[in-house]
Chain A
Amino acid sequence: MSMPPLPVTSNSQELGDSGQSNVLGKRLNKIFETRLDTDKETLEALKELSTFFTENSIQSRRNLRSKIEKRSLAINEEFLSAFTKVKDALDTVYNDVVSIDSEVRGMSMHLQATRAQTYQLIEHTTQLQAQRKKLSMEQEVASAFLERYQLSPAELTVLHGSTRDSPITPVFFTALQRAQTIHSDCRVLMQSGFQTVALDIMEQMSLHQEAALERLYRWTQSHCRSVESTETAALLTEAMSCLQDRPVLFKYVLDEYGSCRRAALVRAFIDALTKGGGTLKPIEMHANDPKRYVGDMLAWLHQVIPSEKESLNTLMSLCSKIDVSDHIQQILASITEGVCHPLKVRVDRILSTDATTTILYSVASLLGYYHQIFSQVVPESMLLGTLAEVRILAQNRFLSALQGRVKQHLADRLDTPPPDLSPSTSVSALMSLLKEVLSVAGVADGRPEDITKMVGVVLDPLLQAVNLSAARLPTTDMAVYLLNCLYQMQTTLSLYGFMDNRLERLQAQSDAQLDTLTSEQASSLVANLNLGPIYTILQETSRGPLANVPGMDAASLKHFLVKLDGFLALPDILLLPQISLLLSTIHRNNVKQRAFEVICTVYKQLFAAVHDPVNGYQNPSSLISRTPEQVQELLLGNGS
């Protein structure tokens, strides 16, 4: 469709003179050179031309130019109208674009503004975010802090109890322990510089603990009687462990426990006394057998103590911070207080019946034994005091019963000593009474002072009575009688322990009587042998030769020596008859020996005097042939 411009005219006009021929030549050349079959445009143009130039006539050739111009015009008109349309379209587009532009401009402005606004928002958001992060961190710290330094609501409920009477459960102790832990942890806080908080929390925890312990105390106090029940026992043990830091509360609980057990023990004791158990007869069935009755009561008490002690030990088994042994002793003492009265009443009653002396003694001894036992088991207790009391009472009752019997014996027969000077029947009777009592197997090794007292009760009046009746006898008889009585007492007492003092006193009394008896016997010997004058003369200092002294001359001496020979052959014939009535051969020999010694001594002096030339005896060896040693040998046996 390309319509080549028509350069022909314009080109020819442009041609200058100088190169006119040349240009023409060139043109021609070009035309010649033109190869139409290769020139597409030309071909096209020709082809187009062929569509309307159908008839090669002059006319048509003349018209060709206008025809072509007309065509060209039509084409351009066509162009114009086409372009008008395009232009309209473009105008519309243009308007659109313009409105878009203004729109966009507005939007952009809006955007600008929005952007400015958003920037602030973002700024703000970022700030908020940072704040939020910080806060959540803080919250984390705070809740960690709370968790560590505060009790949870659940724990608080457990500690304070939902109601006044809500029971204590194992979680209570966990919570209480938590409060304690928090309290101790506050030290860390304190060290980290948070004094105020730490002090606040500590105070808070102390208040919780205090309230909780108060509640625990009330619970424990009202439940301590149930130490025998499974669930309670473990809790009680734990409760006591918590309360050990509060000595006052601890003590109150123990007191309460003590009074519960005290009541229980009294009940059990009374039951054992009056009802027995199973097939066991009640202890009081044996009330007519005081020994058995008292023994059973005390053995019963003795045997319940280990269990009570055990329960106490259990109750305080977790109290490791304090020494529980004192508490245990105190509470045991308090637990056993209740039985004191029923025990005392019964023992008093037994002691006020007219039990025999020996039974009273057994009971006193039994009480002594248990006093000793209980002084180890429950020292410093009322029970021990009661036992001491009834023991003294029994002892006194026994002594007065004994006194009564002694009096009765001595009053019945304030007897004159028998002719054979043997101990009066009251001595034998009282000695067998003493034996009877002493051989009542004292269960407790009787205390020396009790035994001494008891022996005194029998012996003192007896000795008095014996001395009184002996006083009415002649000296020798008196001495022999007293010796016999003393001998019997000594023999009896020497079988038992703790008698040393008494035996010593009896021995001293015997010795005095032995001295008396010896001097009586010696005097009698001297008199019988006519040794008196000789002895007197020998003692004189201012005298001449003895051979010249009357009564000491050879003849008198011979007379004496004959008598002495008779005596030496049968020494016993000159013994006082009462000597043979001495019950003790030791006493007998003692008196004899010592009396004979007197004779030996005098003989020795005489022998020396006779052999002393100063005394002027002729042939002293034939006058006095026996040496003092021989005489001694004959009288005293070999030696000594």
Chain B
Amino acid sequence: MSVGPYNYSYIFKYIIIGDMGVGKSCLLHQFTEKKFMSDCPHTIGVEFGTRIIEVSGQKIKLQIWDTAGQERFRAVTRSYYRGAAGALMVYDITRRSTYNHLSSWLTDTRNLTNPSTVIFLIGNKCDLNAARDVTYEEAKQFADENGLMFVEASAKSGENVEEAFLETAKKIYQSIQDGRLDLNAAESGVQHKPSQPGGRNTLVNDQTASKDSCSC
């Protein structure tokens, strides 16, 4: 029995945004490689990573665009919001300024994406609780007021990293199920891929991940 050509049924496009140094690239790396990169260089423009996950028995390939937080790349990164199904908005719980900029990130996201885009707020570096500069409660309130999903996570310890990416996918999948997300619309950020009927029990390792920065 041959293995089906596609070992997943959907592709979801994500973007990760937030100030420079908040740990966007580290979160992506932790998610795709399950490793912490302690000396991660600043992202130049955008980088790209993928991983196959499973939601409600469906294999889904996440295509994740990690953007540079540095202001000078804004001209480039703004163009990547277009048609993202999920947006992970990251701040650093030890740097208040990164939290204060959230509303401007949110405005950008709302302006540049679909209304159906799932926005997930991540308070990163929660391993550095001692140096905390933003409380959980106020961030939670911000998230609630703006209808965002929210967790505090750590790219270093891996805490809640998986959850953030998976919860976002679940929400998107729900939107598809509810018909709120029109798969046929171009640039919905979701592509349907035929997976083989037998595909589900074929040898697919859902840990298969690749991160080829930009050289996709």
Interface residues of A (CB under 8 A from B): 227-230, 233-234, 236-238, 268, 271-272, 275-280, 283, 291-292, 295-296, 298-300, 302-303, 305-307, 309-310, 314-315, 317-318, 362, 366, 369, 373, 376-377, 441-445
A307 to B10, CA, bound (A): 11
Q: Which of B68-115 contact A (CB under 8 A)?
A: 71-76, 78-80, 82-83, 114-115
| Whole-angstrom CA separation of A445 from B72 in the bound complex | 10
B114 touches A307 (CB 8 A): no
B6 & A295 in contact (Cβ 8 Å cutoff): no
- In whole angstroms, what is the CA distance A277 to B190 when docked? 12
Closest CB pairs A-B (n = 10): A441-B72, A299-B79, A277-B186, A230-B194, A277-B187, A278-B185, A306-B216, A376-B215, A295-B79, A237-B5
Q: Is B191 an interface residue (CB 8 A)?
A: yes
CA distance A7 to B31 in the complex (A): 150
Report chain B residues within 8 Å CB of A298: 79
Whole-angstrom CA separation of A237 from B2 in the bound complex: 10
CA distance A318 to B6 in the complex (A): 12
* A-side contacts of B196, CB under 8 Å: 230, 234
Interchain CB contact (< 8 A) of B83 among A238, A280, A314, A317 = A280
Contact with A along B47-70 (1 / 0, CB 8 A): 010100000000000010100000
A363 to chain B, nearest CB (A): 9
Q: Is B161 an interface residue (CB 8 A)?
A: no
Inter-subunit contact B191/A307 (CB<8 Å): yes
Check B215 against A279 for contact (C-beta < 8 Å).
no
B185: chain A residues within 8 A (beta carbon) = 277-278
- By the criterion CB–CB under 8 Å, are B187 and A306 in contact? no
A299 and B5 in contact, given A278-B187, A373-B214 (Cβ under 8 angstroms): no
What residues on A are CB-neighbors of B193 within 8 Å? 228
A277-B188 contact given A307-B11, A443-B76, CB 8 Å threshold: yes
Is B216 within 8 A of A296, CB to CB?
no
Given pairs A227-B5, A236-B5, A296-B82, 15 additional interface contacts (CB within 8 A): A234-B2, A237-B2, A238-B2, A278-B187, A279-B115, A280-B187, A292-B75, A299-B79, A305-B216, A310-B11, A366-B76, A369-B76, A373-B45, A442-B72, A445-B44
Task: State the CA gap A377–B47 with chains docked (Å).
Answer: 12
A sample of 23 cross-chain residue pairs with beta-carbon separation below 8 angstroms, ordered by A number, consists of A229-B194, A230-B194, A230-B197, A234-B5, A277-B186, A278-B185, A278-B186, A279-B114, A280-B82, A295-B78, A299-B79, A299-B82, A306-B48, A306-B50, A306-B216, A307-B11, A309-B216, A314-B5, A317-B3, A441-B75, A442-B72, A443-B75, A444-B45
Question: Given known contacts A280-B187, A376-B214, is B78 in contact with A292 (CB within 8 Å)?
Answer: yes
The contact of A278 among B48, B74, B188, by CB within 8 Å, is B188
- Give how many A-B residue pairs fall within 8 Å (CB-CB): 110
Binding site for A on B (CB under 8 A): 2-6, 11, 13, 44-46, 48, 50, 63, 65, 71-76, 78-80, 82-83, 114-116, 182, 185-188, 191, 193-197, 214-216
Partner of A314, one of B6, B45, B71, B115: B6
Given contacts A233-B5, A237-B5, A315-B5, contact A228 B187 (CB under 8 A): no
Task: State whether B80 touches A299 (Cβ < 8 A).
Answer: yes
B-chain residues with CB within 8 Å of residue A234 when the two chains form the complex: 2, 4-5, 196
Residues of B within 8 A of A283 (CB): 82
Shortest Cβ distance from B127 into chain A, in angstroms? 32
A295-B75, A318-B2, A443-B75 are known contacts. Are A278 and B214 too (CB-CB below 8 A)?
A: no
B75 near A276 (CB under 8 angstroms)? no
A443 near B72: Cβ-Cβ < 8 Å: yes
CB distance from A155 to the nearest CB of B (A): 19
Give A268 to B191 CA distance when docked, in angstroms: 13
Q: Which residues of B contact A236 (CB under 8 A)?
A: 5
Asked if A443 and B78 make an inter-chain contact with CB atoms under 8 angstroms apart, the answer reads no
* CB-nearest residue of chain A to B193: A228
**By DSSP majority rule, is chain B's interface helix, strand, loop, or mixed?**
loop
Residues of A near B80 (CB, < 8 A) are: 299, 303
Give the distance in Å from the alpha carbon of A157 to the alpha carbon of B72 in the complex. 65
Chain A nearest CB from B139 CB (Å) reads: 28
Say whether B48 contacts A276, CB under 8 Å. Answer: no
Q: Which residues of chain A are near B116, meaning CB under 8 Å? A: 278
Cβ-closest chain A residue relative to B70? A441
- Nearest CB on B from A625, distance (A): 65
Contact status of A271 and B5, CB under 8 A, knowing A277-B83, A376-B215, A441-B71: no
List residues of chain B with CB within 8 A of the CB of A314: 5-6
Cα distance, A185 to B83, chains bound together (Å): 55
- In the assembled complex, the Cα of A102 lies from the Cα of B53 at a distance in Å of 107
Which residues of chain A have C-beta atoms less than 8 A from B11's C-beta?
307, 310
**Cα–Cα distance between A271 and B185 once the two chains are bound (Å):** 11
Q: Is B186 touching A272 in the complex (CB atoms < 8 A)? A: yes
The answer on a CB contact under 8 Å between A377 and B216 is: yes
A298 to B79, CA, bound (A): 8
Which residue of the partner chain A has the closest CB to B76?
A443
Complex: A238 Cα to B63 Cα, angstroms: 26
Bound Cα distance A309, B214 (Å): 13
**B82 contacts across to A, CB distance below 8 A:** 280, 283, 296, 299-300
In the complex, which residues of chain A have a beta carbon less than 8 angstroms from the beta carbon of B214? 373, 376-377
**A529 to B201 alpha-carbon distance, docked (Å):** 102
The CA-CA distance from A300 to B196 in the complex, in Å, is 29
A280 to B5, CA, bound (A): 31
Which of chain B's residues have a CB closer than 8 A to the CB of A317? Answer: 3, 5
Contacts of A296 in B (CB 8 A): 79, 82
Query: A297's closest neighbor in chain B, by CB?
Result: B79
A228/B194 contact (C-beta < 8 A), A233-B5, A277-B83 known: yes
- List the A side residues contacting B74 at CB < 8 Å: 441
* A443 CB contacts on chain B under 8 angstroms: 45, 72-73, 75-76
Contact A303–B65 (Cβ < 8 Å): yes
User: How far is it, in angstroms, between the C-alpha of A447 and the C-alpha of B6 when the chains are bound?
Assistant: 41
Smallest beta-carbon distance B61→chain A, Å: 8
CA A302 to CA B83, docked complex, whole Å: 13
What residue in chain A is nearest B115 (Cβ atoms)? A279
User: What is the CA–CA distance of A237 and B114 in the complex, to the nearest angstrom?
Assistant: 35
CB-CB < 8 A to A237: which residues of B?
2, 5
Identify the closest chain B residue to A379 (Cβ): B215
Minimum CB–CB distance for A335 against chain B, Å:
14
Give the docked Cα–Cα distance between A443 and B186 (Å). 28
Give chain A residues whose Cβ lies under 8 Å from the Cβ of B73.
441, 443
Tell me the complex Cα distance, A606–B83, Å.
86
CA distance A227 to B191 in the complex (A): 14
Taking CB atoms, residues of chain A closer than 8 Å to B114 are 278-280
- Most central of B50, B65, B216 by chain A CB within 10 Å: B216
Identity of the chain A residue whose Cβ is nearest the Cβ of B8 in the assembled complex: A310
Per the bound structure, the CA–CA distance linking A55 and B163 in Å amounts to 157
User: Nearest residue in A to B186 (C-beta to C-beta)?
Assistant: A277
Q: State A300–B5 Cα separation when bound (angstroms).
A: 26
Give bound CA distance, A277 to B115, whole Å: 12
Q: How far is the CB of B29 from chain A (nearest CB, A)?
A: 18
Report whether B79 and A377 are in contact in the complex, using a CB–CB cutoff of 8 Å.
no
Complex CA gap A280/B188 in Å reads 9
Q: How far does the Cβ of B171 sit from chain A's closest Cβ, in whole Å?
A: 17
Cα distance A315–B194 when bound, in Å?
A: 13
A376-B46 Cα distance, complex, nearest whole Å:
13
Partner of A306, one of B2, B63, B182, B195: B63
Are B2 and A295 interface neighbours, CB within 8 A? no
Contact A303 B194 (CB under 8 A): no
